[in-house]
Structure 1
């Protein structure tokens, strides 16, 4: 009986071995039949076309002054760290399936971009043009775009309605440019109905942008010269989670009493401003950065978003603040006891 079972067991092993051998042989045969010379022939001589990633074309850091002819099969195009000055339709005539273009760190100007060259790329999802010499947002852009990154240029102008057809855009990065208050109008961001992150930090703004997309979750306005926030400014922004206003010129008078009464807000950063007191916050806020202001004292009872809770209270009803940064002010230890009574979820207080 045992001998019969052993025969059956080893027979099964033999079948599995033979099956795997045939499968492996078939896969290798298919792989060997691929005409890799086709990919090599299509590959521009200045670039690298990896066999393991046939939809990608690497032309980065080659000191290129112009974009080569891009093969039709390419989805991902890497052209960063070159000396490219112009973008022409001829380079992309066959590349109708492009999804990703990285042109960071080149010498591209608006005059060097052929009119409509990006709009013809109907499948484009990501366009990176950081660290170039653009003076305005390039237009027109394809409606398919999901991310547009234009940081560290010289942008002072945003053409009217340039974003109006970009309903799929989720990330718009314009930080470290030369945007002025006059650059932004009520319709500048009109049409960005699915925008999640808007970064306009490190510009020359003295006021908050007039009207922002209501679905924004991350708003970065650091390193401007903003002095005040209009009353009810955030009322329509029901999904805002992260707000950064570090390194501005905000004062107590520039903040309306309940300006940060945003139920969705989790992280509020107001470091390096001119505040002398802690602004009112909601019970939902988890991180508050107020370092390097002019705050001289803390009153836990006054800043608590609810009356100081009794000893026995449901955890869900308590303020959720977990991190509070107050260093670089005029506050001296110890931490007030009523602060700890209010914010019982605090894990770190930096003074």
Structure 2
């Protein structure tokens, strides 16, 4: 149907153009023989070279009429009213929709700014940094909330309280062969130990006192380590009934008096306590013929605990209150050939003593003690 209508309209336009006199004149001009267009140079108009006179009197400046200059009439077809109303409603909805700012996430390459009609400037879109709400200001503008209640932070579970009274030692502690490890178990006393225990470790607990009965009949016990407890008192005979005891480590406690120790000792470490001059037995280390290491660092001792056995290799007395030293502290003044070869490590730094005042006290030592020489 549309094709038929277009054909009818085309015929109508052609007939109207043929009836127009301007159309017929253009047709005559188009049919004119091209041989008649020889230019006569005598008749050339020099004032206006664009105009030429031809033999038949025609000039090229006559208005040229082109076919098709008349535009066909604009035919508008009727459109259903329903479609026009729908189109108008769509245009109104598009005009009423506001431009909502959109947040460009930083993770996708954006700068995290809001883009919308409010951010447009004369020179273009300028990125703006949103203000961060101050803590405690009470404002909620600019903040994004999911509307879901925030889950409460899980409370840290309380440490279970274990009643260690009456519990077998090897169930509470770790028993490996003859070694018993009871470190960091919040013990407030020494637990009952198996009779064949050789090494006992109870470091980082809350033990406050060592009783004589704690190590009774422990004939195989060689090492006791009670580092970093809260011990203030040790029974003076707590370690004397141990025939195999060699090492006692009671550092980092609150002990004021060093207990009596058997002659079998090889290592004594009582550093970081409150032991003073009255806290050491007279000639406490004289008979310990196998003693190798004696550590009394960070106490309140004011003299070198002589006599010291010849077997001693290391003596640490730094940061005490030692103010003087005798010439026979380490050497034998009656025997100038005496040399103490084993004692190679003497620490006296941190004491108010001038080592240069007693040079005769070191002539039998392989090395000079460490300390202030001025």
User: TM-score range with shorter-chain normalisation?
Assistant: 0.5 to 0.7
Q: Residue in 2 aligned with 1:92?
A: none
**Matches of 1:293 and 1:147, distance apart in 2:** 34
Matches within 5 A, 1:1-351: 110-111=162-163, 118=170, 138=172, 145-159=177-191, 162-163=192-193, 165-167=194-196, 169-181=197-209, 184-209=210-235, 210-212=237-239, 213-230=242-259, 233-234=260-261, 237-261=262-286, 262-280=288-306, 281-301=308-328, 303-304=329-330, 306-307=332-333, 309-310=335-336, 312-313=337-338, 318=340, 320-334=342-356, 336-342=358-364, 344-346=365-367, 349-351=370-372
Coordinate RMSD, CA, aligned: 3.2
| Alpha-carbon spacing, 1:113–1:259, altered in 2? closer, same or farther (3 Å) | closer
Distance in 2 separating the partners of 1:330 and 1:117:
46
| Deviation per residue, 1:224-276 (Å, 9 max, x gap) | 1111235xx12xx2321010010111111221220122211110000100111
Residues 114 and 225 (structure 1), Cα distance of their counterparts in 2 relative to 1, 3 Å cut: closer
Structure 1 gaps of 5+ residues are 1-84, 86-106, 120-137
Distance 1:336 1:322 in 2: 18
| Cα pair 1:282 1:305 within 8 Å, conserved | no
Tell whether the 8 Å contact from 1:145 to 1:166 is kept in structure 2 after alignment.
Answer: no
Offset, 1:118: 4.8
Q: Equivalents in 1 of 2:357, 2:185: separation in Å? A: 44
Alpha-carbon separation, structure 1, partners of 2:204 and 2:318: 23
Report the Cα distance in structure 2 between the residues aligned to 1:263 and 1:180, rounded to whole angstroms.
31
**Whole-Å separation in 1 of the counterparts to 2:177 and 2:268:** 24
Distance across 1 between alignment mates of 2:341 and 2:298: 25
Distance in structure 2 (CA, Å) of the matches to 1:108 and 1:145: 28
> Hey, what's the Cα distance between the residues in 1 that align with 2:344 and 2:162?
46
Query: Matches of 1:241 and 1:195 in 2, distance apart?
Result: 14
Deviations 1:96-128, CA, capped at 9 Å, x for gaps: xxxxxxxxxxx6754599966957xxxxxxxxx
SS of the equivalent of 1:268 reads strand
Higher relative CO (Cα under 8 Å, sequence separation at least 6) belongs to 1
> SS at 2:219's partner residue?
coil
Contact 1:284 1:319 in 2 (8 A): no
Paired residues, what number? Answer: 211
Structure 1 residues 118 and 291, CA, compared in 2 at 3 Å: closer, same or farther? closer
Structure number with larger C-alpha Rg: 2
User: How far did 1:325 drift?
Assistant: 0.2
- Please give the TM-score of this superposition, normalised by the length of structure 2: 0.50
- TM-superposed CA distance for 1:157, in Å, is 3.1
| 8 A Cα contact 1:308 1:341, kept in partner | no
Cα offset, 1:332, TM superposition: 2.9
Change (3 A) 1:173 1:109: farther
